[in-house]
Structure 1
Amino acid sequence: MTYPTAFARSTLAIALATGLWAGPASAQTLPAPTLAKAQAGYLRMMLGDAEVTALSDGTVVLDSSILTGAKPEHIKDLLNQAHQTGPLHTSFNAYLVKTGDKLVLVDTGAGSFFGPTLNKLQAGMKAAGYTPDQVTDILITHLHADHVGGLVNGEAIQFPNAVVHADKAELDYWLDTAKAEAAPKEAQGFFKMAQAALTPYVKAGKVKPFEGATEMVPGIRTQPTHGHTPGHSFYVLESKGQKLVFWGDLLHFEEVQFPEPTITVAFDVDQKAAKAQRLAAFADAAKQGYLVAPSHVTFPGIGHLRKQGAGYVWLPVRYVNDAH
């Protein structure tokens, strides 16, 4: 399995944000300050007996030119219908689940790999009342750097008491030196970053592969969804008859791919398989009515889908500030 030509022609397309906030006052009387620290973002909610905390790792700007499977004019029209133009600020979300005696983190954010507008996950975790040493298990949807970069700071392990779980096919692909060397030059950085993030945990004996549908901890199981990457996986949380599915990189542009899920993205290793997984997942979520949590839908990234024509409408959960 190799990267599509579209990926080989593209770059990561990340433009670093300035971090300025204009505020309600006139710029003549109150200049917009540069934020001195990361904005910690989190949302806490209950799913049955399980506590779910959405964590924002930050945002980066992605250009819609990485979308494939439709003419640029059509993609521009879809963005215009959503009142969006040009590159979009894209959320990078991770999720913390407290269930029984387990504290489970689904993906870890980008860490320091993609610049200063990311690497905010630990600040959000602290604001939500948790520390990295409390995490018992880390469930990796796939090994792209924006999902595993937060595992490390340089070569230092950031979650010292956690076991890292990932699909065996995913680990075999990204940690294979021969595959890295054979990949297009534009993709080789993805291999290097995945290896940098995972190697300290591999050396420490803290990486546990799984194959197929497997229960990770009581109430959380895997759902293989290979396509975006060779071992891409959903994680399904169920408690007291309620269900939430962590979708990873099932989609990247909500304004485009919800109304037209056949549109793909250059980051997909296997675009045909990724599209099939997206169509099946959208249809099931809309029919069954359970909650879903994609990684790159506007924070907090948890919501429902409703079928509308040939596409879908995204219905996000309402934000609740639980500070008191």
Structure 2
Amino acid sequence: MSFPRVRVLATALLLATVAAPAFATTTHHPLEQVPGVYHQQVGELEVTALFDGTVALGRSELVGIAPGAVTRLLNHRYVPEDGKGLQTAVNAYLIQRGNHLTLVDTGTAGCFGPGLGQVLGNLRKAGYDPAEVDDVLLTHAHPDHLCGLLDAQDQVAYPNATVWLSEADAAYWLDPASEAGAPQGVRFAFALAREAVAPYVASGKLHRFRPGQALPNGVTALDSHGHTPGHVSWKIDGGERQAVLVWGDILHFHAVQFAQPQAAYEADSDRTAAIASRRAMMAQAADGGWWVAGAHLPFPGLGHVRREGEAFAWVPGEFAPLPAR
């Protein structure tokens, strides 16, 4: 090795040593996810998934299936789990057809504490004004689906929207007499439901309906009761032989209940009916090739269902750019 080359190497090592502290002091950006917004074109519909946050559901809340079977199904599915339970997303969906905006479910607002209640903020970050929303379709009256009718100051979040809630769920969750006879663990939800809808009732903006009655254009309410007495799933026609099914709480444990639809959730008001509704919605979605939007599927919760023998599987949607407007 010649002397000049040795000197070049020594100089390089010295510069690297001197420069090292500069790398060590590089500014770190705050560790924060980007806004929980995702867009998907379904025919003539623009579907925007809105992330509300996550809740933890315990394995013990799955009933009708042996714990060992649950463990086998969860193995290698990599569902985050801590001492509180399995991470479970809470999602809502904004659907635009032309200039008409329909929001399906509203998230938790302030009902479930920090880490949730992000739907309204994400709606704004997606470029929408809540005052532009024409209709709010509720799959059911649980707090993680309707508390977001109010904002952080308990004011009306969607001042120009008509709110659609099934007659059966309204009759149950808005009636103090039902609360008195309900299981202790769900009684807290009755007052939250009454408070969330109260200003809409006062302004004549709460519309009770039965599946089969006239609904906003292109929308069909499919009876999928069981999780609650009046739970519905919303099928929205996108034209071009395309549709999106926003199915609410058809399932809560995606790693288990697609493969074992007979596994029920402890909070289901009628487990037998909930299982039947789960099988029916999965079958219709699979056979129809519909897009599915799931409130408790991993965000953005958009994809398809396929049959696997007597059971089903989830096929997450592929990321795709939106067509130019």
> TM-score, normalised on structure 2?
0.85
Alpha-carbon offset, residue 34 of structure 1: 6.3
* Map of 1:111 onto structure 2: 109
- Larger helix proportion of the pair: 2
* Map of 1:4 onto structure 2: none
Alignment partners' CA distance in 1, 2:29 and 2:182: 44
Amino acid at match of 2:256: V
- Residues 1:159 and 2:158 are matched in the alignment: yes
Q: Secondary structure at the match of 1:157?
A: coil
- Confirm or deny: 8 A CA contact 1:260 1:310 kept in the other structure: no
Q: Secondary structure at the match of 1:114?
A: coil
Amino acid at match of 2:154: E
* Map of 1:201 onto structure 2: 200
Compared CA separation, residues 48 and 27, structure 1 to 2 (3 A): farther
Alignment partners' CA distance in 1, 2:50 and 2:319: 13
* Map of 1:95 onto structure 2: 93
Compared CA separation, residues 282 and 30, structure 1 to 2 (3 A): same
Q: Can you list the C-alpha shifts for 1:154-205, whole angstroms capped at 9, x where unaligned?
A: 5311111111001111101000011112212211111121112111211221
- Residues 1:48 and 2:43 are matched in the alignment: yes
* Map of 2:120 onto structure 1: 122
Aligned residues: 297
Amino acid at match of 2:294: P
Unaligned runs of 5+ residues in structure 1 are 1-25
Matches within 5 A, 1:8-47: 33=30, 35=32, 39-47=34-42
Alignment partners' CA distance in 1, 2:244 and 2:105: 15
Compared CA separation, residues 115 and 319, structure 1 to 2 (3 A): farther
Q: Can you list the C-alpha shifts for 1:264-293, whole angstroms capped at 9, x where unaligned?
A: 001111100000011111122222221111
Compared CA separation, residues 307 and 152, structure 1 to 2 (3 A): same
Matches within 5 A, 1:137-156: 137-153=135-151, 154-156=153-155
Q: Which is greater in Rg?
A: 2
- Confirm or deny: 8 A CA contact 2:172 2:178 kept in the other structure: yes
- Confirm or deny: 8 A CA contact 2:134 2:162 kept in the other structure: yes
Alignment partners' CA distance in 2, 1:28 and 1:306: 51
Alignment partners' CA distance in 2, 1:271 and 1:304: 24
* Map of 2:236 onto structure 1: 237
Alignment partners' CA distance in 1, 2:57 and 2:263: 16
Compared CA separation, residues 277 and 107, structure 1 to 2 (3 A): same
* Map of 1:252 onto structure 2: 252
Alignment partners' CA distance in 2, 1:44 and 1:290: 16
Q: Secondary structure at the match of 1:117?
A: coil
Range with bigger deviation, 137-146 or 125-134: 125-134
* Map of 2:12 onto structure 1: none
- Confirm or deny: 8 A CA contact 2:41 2:322 kept in the other structure: no
Alpha-carbon offset, residue 39 of structure 1: 4.8
Alignment partners' CA distance in 2, 1:308 and 1:55: 29
Q: Secondary structure at the match of 1:118?
A: coil
Alpha-carbon offset, residue 96 of structure 1: 0.5
Compared CA separation, residues 197 and 298, structure 1 to 2 (3 A): same
Compared CA separation, residues 323 and 292, structure 1 to 2 (3 A): closer
Alignment partners' CA distance in 2, 1:73 and 1:28: 49
> TM-score, normalised on structure 1?
0.85
Counterpart of 1:72 (choices 64, 67, 71) is 67
Range with bigger deviation, 77-86 or 243-252: 77-86
Range with bigger deviation, 122-131 or 137-146: 122-131
Amino acid at match of 1:287: D
- Confirm or deny: 8 A CA contact 2:40 2:322 kept in the other structure: no
* Map of 2:287 onto structure 1: 287
* Map of 1:135 onto structure 2: 133
Amino acid at match of 2:66: K
Compared CA separation, residues 72 and 32, structure 1 to 2 (3 A): farther
- Confirm or deny: 8 A CA contact 1:236 1:246 kept in the other structure: yes
Compared CA separation, residues 72 and 27, structure 1 to 2 (3 A): farther
* Map of 1:312 onto structure 2: 312
Q: CA RMSD in A?
A: 2.3
